[in-house]
Amino acid sequence: MGRVAIWISCVLLLAATCQGKGAPGHRVRVGYYNRKCPAAEIIVRSVVGKAVSRNPGLGAGIIRMAFHDCFVQGCDASVLLDPTPANPRPEKLGPPNFPSLRGFEVIDAAKAVLERVCPGVVSCADVIAFAARDSAYFLSGYKIDYKMPAGRFDGSVSLESESLQFLPPPFFNLTQLVDSFKAKNMNEDDLVVLSGAHTIGVSHCSSFTDRLPPNPSDMNPGLTRLLQSKCPVSPNFTNDPTVVQDIVTPNRMDNKYYTNLLKRNVLFTSDAALLTSGKTALKVMENAFKPGSWEKKFAKAMVKMAAIELKTAANGEIRRNCRVVNK
């Protein structure tokens, strides 16, 4: 992580050139903050790099956070909003997010620096988009590296019920998965490629016990036995351990998810579902056996996902604190 120290130095050098208060326009583009806040992307990458070096799981959580944010209300940082008396059940308290979603403190840390350097300029939605990209960069050993357009606005609507409505659960079959992606203008290619993010991070036992005995599944018997040794028969809120999603390279973003999938060494019904169609199974094999292919496709899919249902000045704002809407 020696590069992180260099970026921190750059932040200090560039901070003085950051512009004053202002709000991004509605059209996202690469280099959006070059004049408004030149240090913006360096700041986020610095904070993310330090966090991931301490705990790779935080990077996995931030990539998942980007997905969970964009599929609900669009990429508007609505997943970051805390409960309030007026809205006691926001997205982050929905079953897909609580208690499993993590990385909020990393976004808070990056936003705090940005507010000191360029107050009122960088949206929380852009921080999530940058942080997800940078998490993939570090976790992949710098192999996943791409430019992320910016200029998003933050939303003010965040409802627990919508997290259940729009986020595909781990028990979905292929038809349901394709439909949920199609609803967000994402296709089967995007589904297979973004599922590859399951090459990192952990999962609660409750997310996949439907595939453990006595339930029928095609899971590799060796993995079945390993999971049975780690998971209670009936997980609950007070007894729901986590296990790694990729038993080969659990803390590295690579294409091992796809070779695991072909060996039936995956956790979720939604993972196994990718082999139930010849079309998606072929895409799995391409990602498994064509070196460097998945990393490039993942970068493109993340940029595409980060453009879902963006807010404009008419229905968005630049939050000063990512956890609450502006007064």
What is the DSSP secondary-structure string of 162-218?
HHHHHSPPTT--HHHHHHHHHTTT--HHHHHHHHGGGGSSEEEGGGTGGGSTTS---
Q: Which of 53, 12, 64 is nearest to 201 (CA)?
A: 64
User: Catalytic amino acids?
Assistant: 68
What's the rounded Cα separation, in Å, for the pair 157 and 147?
A: 28
Tell me: is residue 76 an annotated ligand-binding position. Answer: yes
**Residues 38, 17 contacting (CB under 8 angstroms):** yes
Burial of residue 11 (number of CB atoms within 10 Å: 0-12, 13-18, 19+): buried
Q: Which residues have a Cβ under 8 Å from the Cβ of 227 and sit 6 or more positions away?
A: 205, 208, 212, 243, 267
Cis status, amide bond into 56, omega within 30 of 0:
no
Tell me: is residue 204 an annotated ligand-binding position. Answer: no
Tell me: is residue 69 an annotated ligand-binding position. Answer: yes
- Report in angstroms the alpha-carbon separations of 24 from 28, 79, 129, 215, 276: 9, 20, 15, 51, 43
Tell me: is residue 189 an annotated ligand-binding position. Answer: no
**Residues 266, 273 contacting (CB under 8 angstroms):** no
Tell me: is residue 78 an annotated ligand-binding position. Answer: yes
What's the rounded Cα separation, in Å, for the pair 87 and 123?
A: 21
What's the rounded Cα separation, in Å, for the pair 28 and 55?
A: 31
**Residues 204, 95 contacting (CB under 8 angstroms):** no
Tell me: is residue 17 an annotated ligand-binding position. Answer: no
Mark the binding-site residues for heme b, compressed into ranges: 198
Binding-site residues from annotation for Ca(2+): 69, 72, 74, 76, 78, 91, 199, 246, 249, 254
Binding site members: 69, 72, 74, 76, 78, 91, 168, 198-199, 246, 249, 254
**Known binding residues for substrate:** 168
